[in-house]
Amino acid sequence: IIPPAAFLRLLSDRLAAPFWELLTQASAQAEQRGWHLYLVGGGVRDLLLAKQNGAAPLYLQDIDLVVDGFHRTADVGAGVELARALQQLYPAARLEIHGAFQTAALLWHKDPIFGSLWIDIATARTEFYPYPAANPEVEASSIRQDLYRRDFTINSLAVRLTPPRAGEMLDFFGGLLDLQAKQIRVLHANSFIEDPTRIYRAVRFAVRLEFAIEPQTENYIRYAIDSGVYKRTQGNNSRAPALQTRLKNELKYILQAPYWQAALSLLGDLDALQCLHETLKLDKTLWQQLRFLERCLRRFNRESRKSKVKSQNVPIPPWLLRLEVLIAYLAPEYRDRVAQNLQLPDDSIYRLRHLQQAQERVSTALPSCRLPSQVFDLLRQYDLPMLILIALRSPRPVRSLVWQYVTQWANVQPLLSGHDLKQLGYKPGPQYRQILDDLLAATLDGIIRDRTEAESYLFEHYPR
């Protein structure tokens, strides 16, 4: 147990100075109004986990604050009021209010002092007024309720910032012990049934912090999955869209993290990809496809650093492409629905809806292409992510041709432009398109190699 004064010192020592100053201001504002303020959630966890000696000061990106301890009905909007007061002191922050009275957020984006910072300020939700605020039991029960709604014990620690007892650690559920034991434990048996996205959060924290999922918690996960909890995220019930949004956010967190492969592997072991679709299994073939994608991404990253050619940039973020690979692994009839449920961007939904058709067309037509220009004609209608999806799902000969197209042929520049045609005396009109396409095909097929050859070809095939 850390004595309150020592914990305050720990906060002021480990936090970068502007963050400590901000918490001090927030707590002064709360105190002036007769409220209590707590730092809760991931911030407390990360502070306790931060290296003790010689470590760089901690820059938080998320700060969760909870206001509590008031006794007038009007104070139900305390979190919002506190956020407004803080914004007066920090005008560079943007204020966002969610729900009528519930939570407010202050946001800094690329700020010279705070970088990107998001502060959530919530109002502890129970027992607002019937008891005097000075009664510690009531205060405790109210913040306790707030903490009880959280996902894991290590995220349900709170530190009181306001006096009296500033620096006091509230640990109702054994979070400190679990931090020491390096384990992820839920607060109650129904946690994953209540909110299946916590399965993804458990995996994310376990892999990121290098913690184990506590065995009983793992049993709860398996039980939740066996009992078909994911159906709630997919069905037509009123909570499904909100759950899907949270599921997508968790998937995004996981798939964009440097540790995404370990996390995905753990999700696979827990059979948790069923939350996307009950038939989705992480088997050897799917891993191969994901690895192929990584090779593509690495290669395109290298290329796009070297060249400015637009077609060499993969126009969507890697996490989304990884997610598309997972969804594309489903039978075609399920893909569209899963992509729509997750509210993916329109072009992702479009790709997943048309992938089957595109793949069939490419695998039938590509083997009979004799010339690069024929390959070009066939593949130019698809965007780069679609071609990557097609390639990683195709047998080697098809894959190689698609690869050759995206890395070479798609970037071949025409030797003459519309402007050149005009200069050479061709009357502008619809035939320009055909001439330019024809010149490009001749370049691709090695018939013309430079400007002089292009002009001779032009005069021969399109007399002025």
Which residues contact ligand ATP (rule: CB under 6 A)? 41-42, 62, 64, 150-151, 155, 195, 197-198, 201
User: Whole-number minimum distance, CB 151 to ligand ATP, in Å?
Assistant: 4
User: Whole-number minimum distance, CB 138 to ligand ATP, in Å?
Assistant: 22
Q: In the bound complex, which residue of the shown chain has the CB atom lying closest to ligand ATP?
A: 42
Conformation bin of residue 6: beta by default, left when phi > 0, alpha when psi is -120 to 50? alpha
Buried b / exposed e across 63-88, counting CB within 10 Å, b at 16+? bbbbbbbbbeeebbbbbbbbbbbbee
How, if at all, do strands 212-213 and 183-184 pair? parallel
Distance CA 27, CA 382 (A): 56
Closer Cβ to ligand ATP, 202 or 416, answer by number: 202
User: Whole-number minimum distance, CB 3 to ligand ATP, in Å?
Assistant: 24
Closer Cβ to ligand ATP, 256 or 374, answer by number: 256
Conformation bin of residue 110: beta by default, left when phi > 0, alpha when psi is -120 to 50? left
User: Whole-number minimum distance, CB 117 to ligand ATP, in Å?
Assistant: 12
Closer Cβ to ligand ATP, 207 or 388, answer by number: 207
Task: Specify the DSSP class assigned to residue 368.
Answer: G
Distance CA 70, CA 131 (A): 9
Closer Cβ to ligand ATP, 275 or 389, answer by number: 275
Closer Cβ to ligand ATP, 41 or 385, answer by number: 41
* CB contact at 8 A, 422 and 357: no
User: Whole-number minimum distance, CB 41 to ligand ATP, in Å?
Assistant: 3
Collect contacts of 291-296 with beta carbons under 8 A, ≥24 apart: 292/391, 292/392, 293/321, 293/322, 293/325, 293/388, 293/392, 296/388, 296/391, 296/392
Give residues with Cβ within 8 angstroms of 338, minimum separation 6: 276, 277, 327, 330, 352
* CB contact at 8 A, 462 and 426: yes
Q: Give the Å distances, CA to CA, from 87 to 64, 107, 248, 391.
A: 16, 10, 31, 51
* Residue appearing with tokens 């190689």: 400
Closer Cβ to ligand ATP, 208 or 399, answer by number: 208
Closer Cβ to ligand ATP, 150 or 322, answer by number: 150
Closer Cβ to ligand ATP, 59 or 462, answer by number: 59
* CB contact at 8 A, 276 and 326: yes
User: Whole-number minimum distance, CB 150 to ligand ATP, in Å?
Assistant: 4
User: Whole-number minimum distance, CB 94 to ligand ATP, in Å?
Assistant: 18
User: Whole-number minimum distance, CB 29 to ligand ATP, in Å?
Assistant: 22
